[in-house]
Structure 1
């Protein structure tokens, strides 16, 4: 008996400049993806010292992630500095490793790795509250 593995590989255009944009905003990482680049199914995976994580549904909210479409139809992903899988050095520098994945109905997929890094612009206050579209966070 022979088992043969076949991988369907369909050439997809490489993202052009400006397809992905990232920046730091207050105490959040922000990654946006142009609407023209979005596949039929999109997702994120997160990478840390324990491996890869694929949160969905309620876990996305519980972890401190927000995903929405802006008024241009672009996907905007935000993650709190206190979100799951964020690595912190001395409560001043924050890193998040994630993969953006596009999937198409024919089963093909393509993933794009990102290493987001932000530095704290001002120290944490003794108590802070952050309100997002789908969760609230209190640092005490």
Structure 2
């Protein structure tokens, strides 16, 4: 009987040792963060960093409008006959007014409007583009 008591006691010691070792590994793995890693804060955009995490998602501040206006101007520079471009946004509607050079026929005006509409709608699928032409 004495042999079995010692065997049981030794087995219990090994169990406790393994449980303690496993617990220590689990506890240390939760605390083993890299010292160089620091807490990162969000950009102060008024939306708790929401516009930074989703940069192409429009929100109330309209963060993309200025870049889109600039890009619309660059795209329409390649169309001949446009003197000036005016752009306005209303939610997901982009309202573009083209001021054309004088002396153009109605067919040329319609061609320029259609070309500008196609270019802008292809490059800005997130907007419903509306193009108007004025002299």
TM range, smaller chain: under 0.3
The TM-score, its normalising length taken from structure 1, stands at: 0.25
- Higher-helix-fraction structure: 2
The TM-score, its normalising length taken from structure 2, stands at: 0.26
